[in-house]
Each structure stands twice: as C-alpha cells, then as structure tokens.
Structure 1
Amino acid sequence: MQTFTPDQVHLRRIDPAQNMRRFYSLSLQPTLFGGASLIRDWGRIGRRGQTMMETFDTNADAGSALHRLERSKRRRGYRDAAVQRR
C-alpha cells in the first residue's frame, strides 16, 4: 500500500479596479479504491462557490493535474492566499 501525502493549494485574485475578489482551492484526497481525487473549489470570496471532483487511478496522475491547474491559475493572476493584516 502506498502512503498518501495530501497536497493543498489556496489561491486568491483580488483586483479592486475590476471589482474582482476570487478564490481557487485545489486539494488531493485518497479514494477508497487506491486512487486519488482532485477537489477544486472556486468562487467569489465571501460566497459559497462551486466544487468539482475528478478521480484518477494513481496519485501521480492527480498530482500532475493539480500542478497543471495551479500553473494555469497563476498565469491568470492568482496568488497565494496570504494572512490578512489588520
């Protein structure tokens, strides 16, 4: 049995000029049958948003899909969700 290391990415895109406040979250979770699921959550910050789950046969396939989506979102202007300062 393989060990599973959860991987999570939390991104935000905030642009006051366009009234844009979005979040995008990616996480990997094991399935009951030895595969892996890629969970994607996205929407406007402060709202519920949407969720999509994709299943993969191997952890490596799910990990490469996560990194591909992360790169795509970063190219579109999403950045790491930082701790809010007061």
Structure 2
Amino acid sequence: MALYPYQLYCQRFDAARNMARYYMLSIQPTLFGEVAVTRAWGRIGKRGGEKTEMFETERDAAVHFLDLARRKHAKGYRPVASCGNAHIEHPSNNDRGDNKHLR
C-alpha cells in the first residue's frame, strides 16, 4: 500500500494552436503487492490514451512519477488541483470561456 498519495492533474492551453489538453498521473497499489503508475492524457472533453506501468517498490514508482511530472511541466502543463484538496473552476464551467483563472 502506498504510504503517500501521489495524484496529479495538469492542463495545457494554447489558443493559437487550438490546444486544450489534460494529463493525469497517479500511484496506486495493486492486488499483488506491486505499485502501479497510471497515466491518462488527451484533449479536454474527449477520450484519450491511458497507460499503466508496474514497479516493485513505491520508491521506484515515485521516481518515475516525478520524472513524468517534470517532463510535462517542461512542456507547459500546469497543475489544476491538488489531489482534491483545492477547488478550481473547470474551464467548461466558465461562462466567458477565458482561461485566466488557470494561470
């Protein structure tokens, strides 16, 4: 069982390229004592890709999780919420359609 909750939800917007994408990462224990890093990605509002990778230790999974998070941050993805502890309005709920509240 994971000692610490690892969950991350990021978004990337670029109006000039008509880009509105999401990237989710999480670490979860498996039924067989391993640790899984699960990620999902795609265009906001559409079904995207999904991938799960298995690790023997939580440390190995955490190192991989943080590496993926760093790479996505370098590409312009920014966290939207912190594991359910903070509420930030989703862009689809914003009547004006701007994304200033996410920057």
Aligned partner letter, 1:19:
N
Identify the structure with the greater strand proportion.
1
Runs of 4+ in 1 over 4 A off after TM superposition: none
- Asked if the contact 2:2–2:27 (Cα under 8 Å) also holds between the matched residues in 1, the reply is no
What SS class does the counterpart of residue 81 from structure 1 fall into? strand
Look up the SS of the partner of 1:43 in the other structure. Answer: strand
Aligned to 1:56: 55
| Residue 65 (structure 1) shift | 0.2
Q: Show structure 2 runs of 5+ residues with no match.
A: 82-87, 95-103
Residue 84 (1) aligns with residue 83 (2): no
The alignment's C-alpha RMSD in Å is 1.6
Distance 1:41 1:3, change over 3 A: closer
- Written as runs of structure 1 = structure 2, the 5 A alignment for 1:27-46 is 27-46=26-45
8 Å Cα contact 2:2/2:35 also seen in 1: no
TM-score computed with the length of structure 1 as normaliser: 0.90
Are 2:13 and 2:20, in contact at CA under 8 Å, matched by a contact in 1?
Answer: yes
Is 1:4–1:30's contact at 8 Å kept on the other side of the alignment? no
If the length of structure 2 is used for normalisation, what is the TM-score?
Answer: 0.76
Measured in 2, the distance between the counterparts of 1:39 and 1:3 equals 13
